Amino acid sequence: MRIAEFDTLGLPVVFFRLIMNKNPNVAVVGATGAVGVEMVKTLEKRGFPVGTLTLLASARSLGKKLAFRGQDVTIKELTKDSFAGIDIALFSAGGSISSEFAPIAVKAGCVVVDNSSAFRMDDSVPLVVPEVNAADVKLHKGIIANPNCTTAITLMALYPLHQAFGVKRIFASSYQAVSGTGAKAIEELRQQVTQISSGQMVSKEVYPYQIAFNVLPQVDSFLPSGYTKEEMKMENEGRKIMHHPGFKASVTCVRVPVYRAHSVAVSAEFEKPVSVEVARAVLSKAPGLDLVDNPDKREYPMPLFAAERYNCQVGRIRKDCAMDNGLCFWVAGDQLLKGAALNAVQIAEELIR
C-alpha cells in the first residue's frame, strides 16, 4: 500500500507502510562489493521470498554474474531508471551513491535499506538493529538506515544489559577487521601477508601504512575533537537506536589485521548495581547473541570463530574494578553479516512480516 506524504522540505515522498507483495522484487545496489555479495548470499540462505532479484553496480561491473538459487544473475548498471517494479532495494555502494539514488528509488515506489552513513542521523529516517528497535521500521518514509558495523555489533550485547541495568556510559576500544574498508582492503591484507612471508617488498594502496602484522589506531577521518568520525558513531547512533539521548560513549577505533570479524572491548557504567550472574543470564537469552564465557577452559569470543556466523558472541564478563555499577565485556561479530548484510536483510524481513 503506497501512501504519499511530505517531508520536512515539503517535497512529496512515496513510501510503504506495508509491503503487500508476498514475494517482493528486490534490488541489491553495489552488488559486486564485499557487503553486496554477502547480501545476495544472505537473501538465499535465509530463504527471503524474493520475486525477482536485480543486481546493480557501476558500469565497470556490467555483465558480471552472481549466483542466486542455482542460477546466474547478470549485473546491470545502476541508472536513474533502475528501480521500476522494485519493492525493496538494499544499498551498499557508499554514501554518495545512496544520497543520489536512494531518493530516486523511493520516488519509484521502492523501500530503501541503506548501509551507508548518508541517512543514519536524519531524524526522518529510522536507524534499526532489529533485535533492539524493530518497531521503528514502521516509521519509515521510504528509507531505513543500517547502523555502523561496530555500533551494531556492540549493541547486540549492550542493549540487553541496558534493559536490565540502565546504561549511562561506556568506554570502548574496537578491533576492526579490514572488511569494513571493503573488498580491496581484504585483498590488500592477503597480498601483504604473502609478500612478507616470501620476503618481498610490501605494497600498500588502501591504507596509509602496512596493515599485515600491524594495527592502525585510526578508522575514518579525524574530527577537531581528536576523535574520528567512526568513534563518534557509537555514541550518536547508539542514542538513536536505543532511544537513549543521555547515552555517552568514549571510543577508540583500531584497524587490525583480521579479515572480516570485528571485536569490541567495553567497560559500561549502569544506573543500577550490576551482577555478573544476572548479566550472564540476561545475555544468554538475548536474540542473535551467543554467550561464550568460560575463562577456566579458555573459552571466549574471537574473530576467528565469529566470522561467517549470524550470531555475535559475548564473553570475558566481569565487574569493572574502576567504576561503580560497572561491567566489562568483550563482544565479537562478523562485520559483513551482522555489521552489514545480515542486518539489512533482517530489516527487509521486518518490512514483509
Nine cell digits for residue 325: 555499577
What is each CA distance from 264 to 86, 117, 231, in whole angstroms? 37, 20, 12
Please state, in angstroms and rounded to a whole number, the distance separating the CA atoms of residues 67 and 120: 31
* C-alpha torsion sign, points 58, 63, 65, 70: positive
Say which residues have a Cβ less than 8 Å from residue 73's Cβ, sequence separation at least 6: 40, 53, 54, 55, 65, 66, 67
Task: Tally the C-alpha atoms within 13 A of residue 243's C-alpha that lie toward its C-beta.
Answer: 8
Cβ(106)–Cβ(122) below 8 Å:
no
Nine cell digits for residue 73: 544473475
Residue appearing with cell numbers 559500561: 268
The H-assigned helical ranges of 125-275 are 130-133, 149-165, 183-197, 229-242
Residue 143: CB atoms within 10 Å: 25
**Residue written as grid cell 567512526:** 230
Please tell me the distance from the alpha carbon of residue 325 to that of residue 167, in angstroms, as a whole number: 10
Active-site residues, by number, are 149, 262
Tell which residue, 54, 222, 243, 227, has the closest CA to residue 139: 243
